[in-house]
Chains A and B, each alone.
Chain A
Amino acid sequence: MNQFRVYCPFIGPFDPCPPIREKVYSTPPNLFLGFQPPGLPQFNAHEALKLGTLWPALYSPYPGKQT
């Protein structure tokens, strides 16, 4: 489930620097969740520690460098 979106900034003939064709930004689930409902499913303690959150619904991984 990829939480990243891309947009393409405008590239003009007078840009001072080399153009960046695609900008990537993250949209973690908490943007869409609003006020967290009670009773969401949970990870167990060790998984939560490893993944960085107690609730799978809010899990937002930070992927490494995709070579």
Chain B
Amino acid sequence: MEEQYYAMLHELQAVDFVLVELNLYLDTHPWDTMALQQFNEMAQKRQFLAAQFEQCYGPLLNFGHSASPHGWRWAMPPWPWQV
């Protein structure tokens, strides 16, 4: 796969990790508005990155968590372990 595929996936992975950390942090600090604002910004950014990725390379998730606009590409290679 081309370089851009990995770059976009890496960016998405980084944003996802930040979201995980902030989520766990907010579990114990629900009153921290700064972290909450950062979390919401990151969530929006994640939505945008995921949509951008899916536009180019097909759905990330199945069972309706991702759209597959350009034909049914869920069961098509490349699979995660192939890339």
**Interface residues, chain A, with chain B CB atoms under 8 Å away:** 35-36, 38-39, 45-46, 48-49, 53-55
Contact = CB atoms under 8 A, between A and B. Distances in A.
Given A39-B32, A45-B17, A54-B25, 8 more contacts: A36-B29, A45-B14, A45-B15, A45-B18, A46-B10, A48-B14, A48-B17, A49-B14
Per DSSP, chain B at the interface is: helix
Nearest to B38: A42
B34 interface: yes
Interface residues of B, number: 15
5 contacts: A48-B14, A48-B21, A49-B18, A54-B25, A55-B21
